Amino acid sequence: MATLWRRRERLLGVPGRLCRAVRALSGKNEYDLLVIGGGSGGLACAKEAAQFGRKVAVLDYVEPSPQGTKWGLGGTCVNVGCIPKKLMHQAALLGSALKDAQHYGWNIAQPVHHTWSVMAQAVQNYVKSLNWGHRVQLQDKKVKYFNMKGSFSDPHTIRGLTKAGKETIVTAENIVIATGGRPKYPTHIAGALEYGITSDDLFWLKESPGKTLVVGASYVSLECAGFLTGIGLDTTVMMRSIPLRGFDQQMASLVTEHMECYGTKFLKRCFPTKVEKLESNRLQVTWKNTDLGTEETDCFDTVMWAGRPELTPTAIAAGKLLARRLFGQSSELMDYENVPTTVFTPLEYGCVGLSEEAAVQCYGSDNIEVYHAYYKPLEFTVAERDATQCYIKMVCLREREQRILGLHFIGPNAGEVIQGFALGIKCGATYPQLMKTVGIHPTCAEEITKLHITKRSGLDATVTGC
């Protein structure tokens, strides 16, 4: 153990014995809890611990992206995730609404033009207000905030370093690491780091990204490509294998089909090998098409590498529960089953519970029943919008009780629809119980309460009439 500490002392540049000596002089640690990371999970944990009257500190530092983008307190969700993503998704939905409005009698001057800088400034101003709000909340709850990058000196001691290089030693009885994650660059691809951006940068661009290549098929990738297309930009998604890995693949296919109809281009079973900057400042991307065995190129204004951050509400819940276990005599652990989520693509996809594939794997195909329906949202009718990908699927056990294992919904406001049903599924709702639920007419959500066609029957699942 002594050898290990000496090795740590050399690596960190701070003598562990000195840190321990500082703590010994005071007789105790400075804080009951120190949280490293000021994102959703870390802040939730810190504020919950403060509610128990404990002395709490948060240490947060944003390492600028390779392109130099940085932001304030609040983590991925607030700064480069859920919040700016949903606002830019809303900008794209408004563009679609302008097209629909003409069918409802509104005279909209043509052509309609979107100005990226106006949207970006509004989004960034709101994000900055949230940064400030988080700082005020910590202050109100008497949680000390350190804007520093931390590293361990010993199990109870953190060496904090400010941007200017000033060092502060902080000791705590309990230290929680809640640093989250950042998108990764594919460094094996020539030019990826020098010329590409990630979602960390996209939301803070002052000017339009122009013709954009989004590499990857995660939900971050599809969401970004969706709103870029929606505000009128030439957008292409390059996917090496399947879209939305980990999600129900029938639903994932419907999402990408709609995106293609909506205007997003897809390069399927392709992977990039090189990014070069031309004299025109445009980026030439070279990729391989595994189906054709060919090498292809095209030019773009922006190349974005998409990663997959974790779900914010899950981090918040886990952070609160950890604080209660540490200081509130609780033993409750986070339940990661039946966590609802939504992919904010142009046609939203919300789900809770198991995918059809996972249900088959867990219980066997003979032991599950899948109820499904293709439906047309009322708001699509007058506007004559294509609704071929609006689809609902409910995965149930076949046993007499028919417990619901998973619910999947593609359509407008999918997140709002799934949120309510998630409670029922979390409580063990069954198919017969759902059939006794009275729907609200006319809504998209009511279609869930009318599911009666099974895949097994082979009958047409298209909803007609009321």
Judge whether residue 177 has pLDDT over 90.
Answer: yes
pLDDT in tens, 414-450: 999 999 999 999 999 999 999 999 999 999 999 999 9
Predicted local distance difference test score (pLDDT) of residue 180: 87
Hey, what are 329's tokens?
């005599």
Please state the domain extents for the chain: 192-305, 338-457
pLDDT in tens, 219-259: 999 999 999 999 999 999 999 999 999 999 999 999 999 99
CATH architecture type of domain 192-305: 3-Layer(bba) Sandwich (3.50)
Which SS3 state, helix, strand or coil, does residue 349 take?
Answer: strand
Residues in the chain: 466
DSSP at 140: H
Class of domain 338-457: alpha beta
Task: Write down the residue that tokens 């130099």 correspond to.
Answer: 68
**Of 258, 408, 441, 452, catalytic:** 441
Task: Write down the residue that tokens 């276990």 correspond to.
Answer: 325
Predicted local distance difference test score (pLDDT) of residue 299: 98
Judge whether residue 65 has pLDDT over 70.
Answer: yes
| Residue 441 is a catalytic residue | yes
Q: Is the CB of residue 366 less than 8 Å from the CB of residue 397?
A: no
Q: Calculate Rg over the CA atoms of the chain.
A: 25
DSSP at 430: B
Mean local confidence (pLDDT), 34-57: 97
Q: Is the CB of residue 463 less than 8 Å from the CB of residue 381?
A: no
Predicted local distance difference test score (pLDDT) of residue 310: 66
277: amino acid identity, one letter: K
